[in-house]
């Protein structure tokens, strides 16, 4: 754009409006200003410097005014965007509330497995705190408006009427309420520091592993013979695919397993179908038959008595007479697709290592960028595999089995008592019992198995409830065995205090209690203090450590911190259910799958014959899959996002506390409470994750 002339650029042949012409570049939203010196300026500069140019020139007021105007314009644009986003959020919230479908409906209670009595008690507990906070806010607002500043003189000055009641409340609060809240605050802060120290030590361990390039290696490399490829180390492997009503993903998982690069005579695939839907059973049975026609060694099993959920399914499969011919068993859930070289990269670790019972691979995710919910899950799981599993595997030779993408020595399973249906975390159960019997584990961080993350908050919430109630059930059942077993004392201490108490019980307890209950209460009872470093600095540091294994997720560090605190209500509820053996602790809800890696992966995994003759193999079903996906999308339109009452109640509690903090000018507490309250509001209205139209 050419420089302006006239009023702003100066009149030709005169000095009435001298100034520095500017060029305003508007190709992008980032305004930039470049100065252009006039010949007269150059002459003046040269004369003033004795033939040399000045090092700089003074800016005139009009140029500065332009800069300020442009910056103001940009700021106005940002405010307009924020206002637009707020209006859109308000509209979405209004529509969600108008739908009126809450998680308290009978169908949802049955689906989540939560006891209505427990649900109502926990919700009543949260509502009681909300009612108390609203009453206290009303009192504080009245005191603020009437100027009742009695904090320093309540014990000395005689007052009457409402002012006397307020003074009595201050005396009662300081003498009886504050000490109890302060004691609970101090206890939670201590637990918080212990858990933070544990996480920091784990991160240092991970840093040491990367620094020293520590990587599990087979004791005896199993290289195949160049003349006879089948002469290498290829033991008999049983591959199991447990599934239940998962018609979205059965084709891709079966195709991936049947394409494993392993001698066909040395591995057998068991499709363990626990579906109660006749149509799904028929589809899976037909898929197995198609692969059998292509020469794959694969069998279909369906239980008549479906007891024990996944553990019962695996236990039933291991009772087959032909299992005695196999040395190892690889397990893949229905949505997992191993790479063809999976067995070649895991099974060789067992060679000449008779103490090794389990080789676990990490997960990778096909839909990690699908929405904000999947991105936040990805951060958590990256830390779990990169730090927790890897560090425990290298330094302790023990970690919790992830239930899938792992290879077990069948002798280790049998020696540990086999699969048991006593908890909903059968994978952790068998891992703990194998550890007590002296078996060692290896975690391979560089071997990945593809899967998908829950895309809706409802599915993720159910999954987290099972993952946090099961360990508490297991702790109650395993504690006597841990105490009586003959393993080293430090291994017992690690199991009891670190593996179970610190990471499974203390973490959800203090997260919910400290940030959802104590922090709001300290706003109304200022005599009980919660330091700024507990509210902001250490949580920010822990979130930064959590996000280090996935550095590309750094822009989501604040949403991650807020969302983790928001999930504490679900995790705390699940932990209490498992610890006290409540009804919801024994329910298993299959996590809903979407089948993200479907058509393209099916084509790449289909045998060559099927690609040439698309009427006889698995590839012809691609049209069927497309139709099924279209039908599922139509069914999805009949579903609705839910309203979660506990999260909404906590949102109101936190926002109420934020209003009280604003009155007392408590600084950083206000911002934390405000944003945490908004986070609870978004989750309570189910505005995070998959949105059903």
* Signed CA dihedral, 291, 292, 297, 303: sign only: positive
Residue showing tokens 């490399």: 221
Alpha carbon distances (Å) from 196 to 45, 391, 399, 402, 496: 62, 16, 19, 23, 18
C-alpha torsion 367→372→375→376, nearest 10:
-140
The 3-state DSSP class for residue 361 equals: strand
Distance CA 484, CA 492 (A): 10
What are the backbone angles phi and psi of residue 239, rounded to the nearest 5°?
-110, 125
Residue showing tokens 């992008």: 28
Question: Is residue 427 among the annotated active site residues?
Answer: yes
Question: Is residue 276 among the annotated active site residues?
Answer: no
Distance CA 109, CA 103 (A): 7
Nearest alpha carbon to residue 426 among 270, 328, 576, 314: 314
Cβ atoms of 669 and 539 closer than 8 Å? no
Residue 253 tokens, joined: 């998982």
Distance CA 681, CA 655 (A): 10
What are the backbone angles phi and psi of residue 399, rounded to the nearest 5°?
-165, 170
The DSSP code for 250 is H
**Given 41, 333, 335, 427, which residue is catalytic?**
427
The 3-state DSSP class for residue 271 equals: strand
**Given 273, 274, 335, 686, which residue is catalytic?**
274
What are the backbone angles phi and psi of residue 300, rounded to the nearest 5°?
-110, 130
Distance CA 519, CA 530 (A): 7
Distance CA 687, CA 681 (A): 9
Alpha carbon distances (Å) from 49 to 18, 55, 92: 21, 9, 65
Distance CA 361, CA 377 (A): 18
**Cβ partners under 8 Å of residue 678, min gap 6:** 651, 655
Q: What are the residue numbers of the active site? A: 274, 427
């Amino acid at each position: 754009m050419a420089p302006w002339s006239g009023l702003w650029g100066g009149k030709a042949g005169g000095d009435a409006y001298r100034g520095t012409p500017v060029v305003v570049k508007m190709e992008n939203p980032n305004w930039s200003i470049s100065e252009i010196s006039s010949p007269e300026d150059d002459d003046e500069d040269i004369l003033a410097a004795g033939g040399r140019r000045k090092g700089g020139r003074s800016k005139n007021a009009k140029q500065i005014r332009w800069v300020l105007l442009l910056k103001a314009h940009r700021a106005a644009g940002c405010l307009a965007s924020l206002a637009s986003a707020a209006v859109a959020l308000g509209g979405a919230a209004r529509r969600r509330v108008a739908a009126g479908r809450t998680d308290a409906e009978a169908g949802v209670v049955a689906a989540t497995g939560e006891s209505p009595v427990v649900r109502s008690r926990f919700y009543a507990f949260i509502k009681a705190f909300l009612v108390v906070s609203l009453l206290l806010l009303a009192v504080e607002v009245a005191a603020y408006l009437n100027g009742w500043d009695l904090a320093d003189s309540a014990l000395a000055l005689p007052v009457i009427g409402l002012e006397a009641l307020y003074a009595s409340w201050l005396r009662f609060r300081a003498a009886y309420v504050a000490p109890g809240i302060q004691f609970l605050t101090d206890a939670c802060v201590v637990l918080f520091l212990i858990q933070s120290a544990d996480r920091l030590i784990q991160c240092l361990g991970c840093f040491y592993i990367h620094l020293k390039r520590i990587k599990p290696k087979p004791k005896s490399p199993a290289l195949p013979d160049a003349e006879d490829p089948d002469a290498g180390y290829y033991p008999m492997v049983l591959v199991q695919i447990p599934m239940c009503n998962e018609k979205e993903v059965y084709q891709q998982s079966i195709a991936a397993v049947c394409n494993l690069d392993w001698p066909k005579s040395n591995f057998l695939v068991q499709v363990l179908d626990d579906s109660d839907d006749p149509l799904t059973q028929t589809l899976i049975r037909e898929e197995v038959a198609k692969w059998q026609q292509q020469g794959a060694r694969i069998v279909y099993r369906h239980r008549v008595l479906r007891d024990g959920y996944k553990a019962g399914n695996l236990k039933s499969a291991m009772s087959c007479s032909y299992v005695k011919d196999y040395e190892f068993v690889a397990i893949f859930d229905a949505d997992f697709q191993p790479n063809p070289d999976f067995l070649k990269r895991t099974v060789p670790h067992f060679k000449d290592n008779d103490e090794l019972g389990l080789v676990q691979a990490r997960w990778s995710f096909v839909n990690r960028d699908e929405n904000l919910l999947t991105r936040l899950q990805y951060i958590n799981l990256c830390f779990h595999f990169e730090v927790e599993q890897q560090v425990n595997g290298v330094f302790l030779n023990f970690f919790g089995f992830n239930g899938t993408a792992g290879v077990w020595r069948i002798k280790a399973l049998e020696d540990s008592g086999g699969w048991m249906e006593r908890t909903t975390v059968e994978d952790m159960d068998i891992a703990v019992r194998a550890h007590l019997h002296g078996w060692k584990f290896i975690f391979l961080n560089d071997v990945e198995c593809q899967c998908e993350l829950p895309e809706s908050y409802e599915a993720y919430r159910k999954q987290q409830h099972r993952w946090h109630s099961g360990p508490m059930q297991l702790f109650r059942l395993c504690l006597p065995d841990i105490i009586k077993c003959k393993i080293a004392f430090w291994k017992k201490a690690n199991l009891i205090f670190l593996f179970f108490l610190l990471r499974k019980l203390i973490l959800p307890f203090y997260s919910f209690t400290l940030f959802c209950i104590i922090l709001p209460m300290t706003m109304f009872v200022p005599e009980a203090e919660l330091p700024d470093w507990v509210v902001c600095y250490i949580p920010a540091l822990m979130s930064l450590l959590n996000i280090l294994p996935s550095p590309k997720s750094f822009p989501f560090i604040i949403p991650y911190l807020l969302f983790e605190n928001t999930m504490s209500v679900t995790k705390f509820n699940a932990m209490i259910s498992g610890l006290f053996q409540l009804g919801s602790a024994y329910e298993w809800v299959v996590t809903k799958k979407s089948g993200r890696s479907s058509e393209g992966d099916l084509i790449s995994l289909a045998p060559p014959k099927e690609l040439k003759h698309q009427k006889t193999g698995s590839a012809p079903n691609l049209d069927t899959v497309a139709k099924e996906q279209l039908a599922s999308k139509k069914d999805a339109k009949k579903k609705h996002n839910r309203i979660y009452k506990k999260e909404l109640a906590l949102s109101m509690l936190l926002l109420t506390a934020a209003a009280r903090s604003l009155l007392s000018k408590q600084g950083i507490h206000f911002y934390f409470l405000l944003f945490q309250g908004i986070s609870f509001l978004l989750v309570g209205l189910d505005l995070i994750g998959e949105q059903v139209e």
